[in-house]
Amino acid sequence: MAIKIAPDKKKHFLVAIPLGIILNVFAQWLYPFEPANAWLFGFVSLVIICYGFEWFSLITGKGHYDFIDAVAGIFGGVLGMTIWWAIDRL
C-alpha cells in the first residue's frame, strides 16, 4: 500500500537537499579540521532554518504553519549533507 505524500512536502524535501549541501560546505569551511563540529553546526543550522520558516508563518500569519513541512525539510537537508559527505570522501 503506497502512502500519498503531499506535493508541498515533496517541495520542502527537494529544496532542502541543496540547502543541506550548502550548509555542510560552509560548516566545513568554518571547521576544516573538526568534522564532528562541522556536521553539528550544519545540522543545527538546518533545523533552525527549516523550523524558523514554519515559526515565522505561525507568528505572522503569512502562509500556513505545518510542523511536518519542517520535518520534511530536515530529512531533505540531512540527505543533502550525506550526499556532500560521500562526495567529499572520494
User: What cell was used for 88?
Assistant: 567529499
Domain count, the chain: 1
Q: Which domain holds residue 14?
A: 8-88
pTM across the whole model = 0.88
In a domain, 3, yes or no: no
Let me know if 20 is exposed, middle or buried by CB neighbors in 10 A (0-12, 13-18, 19+): buried
pLDDT at 1: 61
Of the candidates 87, 67, 71, 79, the residue with the CA atom closest to the CA atom of residue 18 = 79
- Residue 5 region, left (φ>0) first, then alpha (ψ -120 to 50), else beta? beta
pLDDT tens-place string over residues 9-24: 899 999 999 999 999 9
In a domain, 2, yes or no: no
In a domain, 1, yes or no: no
